[in-house]
Every structure is written in structure tokens, then in C-alpha cells.
Chains A and B, each alone.
Chain A
Amino acid sequence: MVKSLWRQLASHNLALTLIGLLLLAVAAGGTLPQTNRLSPEQLTAWFSEWPIASALLDTVGLSNVFGTWWFLLLVSLLLLNMTAGISLSIGYRLAQYSGAKQPQYLLRGEGALPDLALLMVRRQEEGGLASVYRRGLWGLMGIPLFHLGIALIVLAALWSTFEGYGAHFELSEGESYAGQTERLKTDKGWSHTVKFDALLRLDTVHVEMKDGKYLIDLKAKFSVQEKEGGIRNEVVETNRPLAISGYRLYPNNTMGYSAVFDRILPSGERRGLFIHFQAPLSSWGKPYSLARNLPLELGGVPLFSRMTLSKDKTERLALTVTKAGKEIAKRELGPGDVVDLGEYKLQFRGAVPWLGFYLASDRPMWMFFCSVVVTLLGYLLHLLIRFRRVEIVASEAGWQVMAWTMREDSLFERRWQQWSEQANAT
């Protein structure tokens, strides 16, 4: 009964059904709005502009296809089907290789053995010996290897889903990062505990534009100090991430300018403060005026501030702070100017560029890519190498030639027909 169940799991029809269903599911996920990929504004627009459609998709589980239980079930069933298929297929192929299965081609005759050159058999022995000519075992194992690779890809992807981590953060020129989790905006792996044992200082941001609108170069130069080691200089750019403290750091192509402040506390202590302003690429290297609203908290009291950072010949910051609707500060600051907010003072130091980064950790990635290589290699072996087994039994009384090949070996099929006709004619 177990054997029968295993055969059913390995069935071709089941494979076709599962592939078809998975195809439809992935097509739906790739076309319909997926709520986990939308920004908060896009999500609001989706629910307000399409209330019926959004509710319907949510109900049937099509608003987050790749995170549903049924998608996971489909993939798991396909994995099971492939595993069962591989186990039976290997047995079948080894039987073909050893000649244990019925031959696909068989011809008997009397007298001398006809010439076998047409069957692409290179050597021919004389006498009544059984001879076996085989080639292309790797070709025979190509498809099982291919399916094994896919199964490993699925396992790696599942492992990655549960263990992978990614988060965005922003860093200004001159600013340091030492693993502070409050600065990270997690993208995936919310249960991951960040263990970042290194200190990063962004020394320089290099952005190069062409014709004022095309980004052609983006580099971030860092001073890096890991747990045990001295300080070294590193450059991070697209396609060349920095491996550090078990993570990899990538530029995420967001950038802008930061207003740099010193917070002067009543004790006289100074603490750095960077306020980031997002800047469009087209404004890079040109005079700019960037505004943002920023909630502040002073002495447990929430304040509202509006800042406008601008640069023409020099950097200026226009600051308005309101408390319970009443303006408590309104100033335009140049570099070195101080504004008193009561709890502390803010000294404006100027503006520096900032870049966005993506901090990622994905240990299963190596397994994923190794599996991809196995998959592609397996299929390439299947395409390039044709398995053929030709067994000859010849004696004075007569001869018998049997052959085993892979499916759709049209060349051998043609050659066998030609050879059979020749053999029958003689």
C-alpha cells in the first residue's frame, strides 16, 4: 500500500496538476496588487478606490498570494511529488543502464552479424560473445539531478523565508552606525535579533550625475572597525556590497541631504543630531530647497517642527517649532547659529549628503545558488548527452541486437530503422 501511495505521489498527472496550479497562483501574485508590497499610501488608495475588489481578493487569499498557507501547501506538494518522482526515476534509469528493463529496440537474425556502424557502435567483436556498448550515463542522470536541484531550491527558499533578514537605514556623511536597532526599518525577518559587532563611519558620499538627470556613479567610503581588528577603509557601491559582522551592506539608491546639528544640553554636553531630507536625483549638485515636518519631544512634551533646508551659495535652515499650536521658535539659521528650544539649544552646523543602505543577512543564499547550479547542470546534461545501450549476442547460429535509449532519441530511431532495413535486406 505504501508503494502504491508512493507511485501515486510520483505520478505525472499529479505533477501536471500541481505545476498548472502553481503557474496560476504565481501569475495572480505577480499581477494583482499584493498588500504586503504596497506603501501605506498605495494601500489606502487601493482599499478606498477598489473597496469591493480589495475585499474580495482578501477573502480568497489573493491579496498576499506568496504568504498564504495554500501557496505553501502547493509548493510542499510539488516538492513531495518531485522527490517521489526522482526516487522512482533513478531506479528506472539504472535498470535501463544495466539492461534490466525491456529493450525499446530488438532485432534477431541468422548468419553473420551485420555491420553496426549505423548504430554508432564503434567497436565490434567477433565470435559468440555478448557485447554491451553504453554511453551517456550522465545524460541518464540529468533529469533526476535537475529535479533534485529544484527540490533543493525550494528547501533553500523556505529556509530563507524563515531565517533571512533585511532592513533599511540612512547614514549621513560623518555619521556612525554601531548596530542600533531603532535606526533600522525592517523589511523581512521581524523575529531576527540583530547582532552587529562593528562600528561603521560614513566618511564620504560620492554621487556623480550626467546631464543633470542620470545617476552614473554612487560610492560610499567607510571607516570600519569590527570586534577584533583595527580600522580599515572600505568602499560600498552597487554590485559591490560590504561583508561585515555576518551581514552584507548594500546601497539602496535613496539619498538626500542632512541638516547637521549639535544639541547643547543644560550641562554643556554636546550631542550630534542629523535630520534627513529626501532629495530627488535631479536636484543633486544643484541649489535645493527641501522641507519636512518633524515631530519633536522636549521634556515629555510633544512639539511640531517644520524645517526647510536650502542651499544656494550657502546652507540655510528655516525652523518653526510649535507647542500646542503656539509658536515657540521661528528662525532662519546659517552655519553656527543657535536656537533656544527651552530644554536644550540647537546649533546648526550645515548640511551634508546622506545615503540609504540595506543591511541583509541570508545564510541560505549559498544553498539556493548551489541548488540553481545543480538544476541547470542537470538539465544541460540531459540536453547534451544521450544515453544509449546496445547489447549484442552473436553466435554461429544467429545474432540478436537489443537497444535502450532515452525518450525522443530521434537520431537513434532513424538509424535503427535504416540499420534494420539493411539487416533484413541482407
Chain B
Amino acid sequence: MSIVIFVQGVVVAGYLMAACLLFLKPRWAGITAVILASLACSLHLLIIYRRWQEIGQLPIVTRYEDMTVDALAIAALYLILQWFKPEIRLAGRYALPIAAFAVGAALWYNLGSVPFSPALRTNWLLIHSQLNSLAVGLATVSAAVLLLPGRTVLAGSLMAWTFFLWSAMTAAGSYWASIAWGRYWGWDPIESWSLVTVLAYAFVLHLRFKPAWRRGYRVYIGLLPYLILLFTTYGLLMIRGSIHSQYLFN
């Protein structure tokens, strides 16, 4: 257990150092940052793989596992996207610290594992949870890109993809609910707030077509859906009970 904590600490340090390097101007700093982040990401992937082998099931049901996987999604998506679009690289200043925070915060939760209940023994667990992780990852990168000057159009494209992934995640969850519980929508708090997140992204994506909203301080309204997404994923279950609480173990 202490090895896991140490290695996750190294991953946190790697992401943070990479983020700091991205604030420096020389070209070598940017390249070093990407290499450092990639090494940390590889170590991160190894942690998850090792846990998978250790517990004999997908590591995605406890809060520790959920946050660790989401953090990997943030880092991995950032690295992949900045490879294809170098203008995204500087977004690592904001995305990598968030990934580092998630990796560190995960360690506050119980590191024990829980066997899958009958409801979780289905491929829909992988589909639903991984769409969620991808959406969280892409939402973080798009929010980080929004903070870069002159990148509102690019951020908008990334937000459009986030909207798609989150909607697909909600739809997958709805189908899974229909085969597990006999109803596809019950206005459960998690379901309601997933819809709130969809509507928030839809609102901002419609607002983008008005040029006035792409300038000055108004551009930061694009951060609102991201904050709502984070609340839905991590904050809601702290204040409201939900049918989903029985499947996400603290």
C-alpha cells in the first residue's frame, strides 16, 4: 500500500513539474514538460494496470479508483491532443495540475477494493464509466484551452466533443438502468444533474454562435458547464443520496 502511495506521489510531482515548465518561455521547457508528463502518465497507467491485476476486476467502482482513472483520462487526452494540435500544449498549465490534484485527492479515500455486485457485472459498466472518464478528461482539457488567449474557437470544438461524450454516457447509463431496474429514467439526483450538465453545455454551445460571447470576460462563461460537470461527478453524492450511491463505494 505504501508503494502505491509513493508511486502516486511521484505521478503527482511529475504532472506538477510539467505544468510549471509550461509557464517558461524557451522551447526546450515545453518539450521537457511533455516528456515529463508522458513519463508520469505511463507510471499512472501502470498503477491502474497493477491494481486491475491485483483485484481481478476493473478498477472503477471505489472513489479512489474512479478519481485515479479520471485523472489518467485528463492527462492522456491532453498529451494525445497536444500531439495533434500543438497549440493545445500550453493548456497543460491548467489541465495537468487538475490531474495531479485528482491523483492526490484519490489517496484520501479508502484504498481497499469491493467485489462487483450483480448490477455491476455487465459490459455496460465499462461503457458507462469510461465514457464518463473520457468526458471528464476532455472537459478539463477544453476548460484549460478556454483559459488560453485567442483559443475560444478551439475550446468550442472541444466542448462540442465533451457534450457528445457526456450525452453518450448519460444515454448508456439510461439503457443500463432500463435493463437493471426496469426504468430508463427516474429523475434520481445523479440522473437529473447529468441532464443539467447536458443542458449547461447545450446552453454555452448555443451562446457561442453570438460573437459578443466570444470576447472579453464573457468567454469564461464556458467554464460554467465544466464546474457543473465536476459537481455532478464528485460533489453531488456528498450532499444528496442517490440510487447510484450503492454502486460507488467510499
Binding site for B on A (CB under 8 A): 12, 15-16, 19-20, 22-23, 26-27, 29-31, 34, 37, 66, 157, 164, 166, 188, 210, 214-218, 237-241, 248, 250-253, 358-360, 362, 365, 368-369, 372, 375-376, 379-380, 383, 407-408, 410
Contacts and interface: CB of A to CB of B under 8 A. Distances in A.
B180 A30 contact: no
7 contacts: A23-B196, A26-B199, A30-B187, A30-B189, A30-B195, A34-B187, A252-B181
Contact of A376 (B114, B168, B200): B168
A210 B121 CA distance: 15
Contacts of A252: 181-182
A81 to B, nearest CB: 11
A27 B193 contact: yes
Interface residues of B, number: 49
A23 B228 CA distance: 11
B196 A248 contact: no
B58 interface: no
Given A218-B118, A379-B167, A16 B187 contact: no
Interface stretch (B8-16, B43-51, B90-98, B155-163): B155-163
Interface in B142-169: 153-154, 156-157, 160-161, 163-164, 167-168
Nearest to B208: A408
Question: Which 7 A-B residue pairings sit nearest by Cβ, starting from the closest?
Answer: A30-B192, A360-B182, A238-B118, A23-B199, A250-B182, A358-B182, A239-B122
Nearest to A67: B187
Contacts, number: 123
A164 B192 CA distance: 19
Given A241-B179, A410-B153, A27 B118 contact: no
Given A16-B207, A29-B187, 11 more contacts: A12-B206, A15-B206, A19-B202, A23-B203, A29-B192, A215-B117, A215-B118, A238-B117, A253-B119, A368-B184, A376-B167
Given A166-B183, A358-B182, A22 B118 contact: no
Given A26-B195, A157-B185, A383-B161, A217 B118 contact: yes
A376 B210 CA distance: 24
A16 B117 contact: no
Contacts of B171: 372, 375-376
B193 A238 contact: no
A31 B121 CA distance: 29
B199 A19 contact: yes
B200 to A, nearest CB: 6
Contact of B118 (A15, A34, A216, A376): A216
B121 A16 contact: no
A83 to B, nearest CB: 16
B101 interface: no
Contacts of A30: 187, 189, 191-193, 195-196, 236, 240
Given A23-B199, A215-B117, A66 B187 contact: yes
Contacts of B200: 23
B28 interface: no
B203 A238 contact: no
B153 A241 contact: no
A281 to B, nearest CB: 10
A116 B118 CA distance: 60
B187 to A, nearest CB: 5
Nearest to A13: B210
A238 B189 contact: no
